[in-house]
Amino acid sequence: MAARKRAIVITGNGTNCEMEAAHACRIGGFDEAVIAHISELLSGEISLDDFHFLNLTGGFLDGDDLGSAKAQANRLKNATISGSSEKLVEQFSRFIADGKLILGVCNGFQLMVKMGMLPGFDGNYLNQTATLTYNDCGRFQDRWCYLKTDPASQCVFTKGIDKGIYLPVRHGEGKFLCDTPATLERIETEHLAVLKYSDSSYAAPTMAFPENPNGSTNAIAGICDPTGRLMGLMPHPEAFVHYTQHPRWTRETLPENGDGLIIYQNAAKYVSERLL
pTM: 0.97
Q: Which tens digit of pLDDT belongs to each residue from 183-231?
A: 999 999 999 999 999 999 999 999 999 999 999 999 999 999 999 999 9
- Spell out the domain ranges in the chain: 6-275
pLDDT at 64: 87
Average pLDDT, the chain: 96
Residue of 275 and 139 predicted with greater confidence: 139
Predicted local confidence at residue 188, as pLDDT: 98
Whether 52 contacts 100, CB under 8 Å: yes
| Strands 6-11, 53-56: pairing kind | parallel
Report helix, strand or coil for 73: helix
Residue 1 pLDDT more than 60?
A: no
Q: Classify domain 6-275 at the CATH topology level.
A: Rossmann fold (3.40.50)
Catalytic residues: 106, 236, 238
| Per-residue pLDDT reduced to its tens digit, 91-114 | 999 999 999 999 999 999 999 999
Quote the pLDDT of residue 3. Answer: 83
pLDDT above 80 for 254: yes
CA angle 32, 110, 191 (to 5 degrees): 85
**Phi and psi dihedrals of 97, rounded to 5?**
-65, -25
User: Quick count: other Cβ atoms within 10 Å of Cβ 142?
Assistant: 11
The per-residue pLDDT for 32 is: 97
pLDDT at 275 over 90: no
Mean pLDDT of 4-8: 97
The amino acid present at 86, given as its one-letter code, is E
Which residues, other chains included, contact 106 with Cβ-Cβ below 8 Å and sequence gap of 6+?
17, 57, 58, 59, 169, 170, 171, 174, 233, 234, 235, 236
pLDDT value of residue 2 = 66
Name the helix (H) or strand (E) containing 180: none
pLDDT tens digits along 132-178: 999 999 999 999 999 999 999 999 999 999 999 999 999 999 999 99
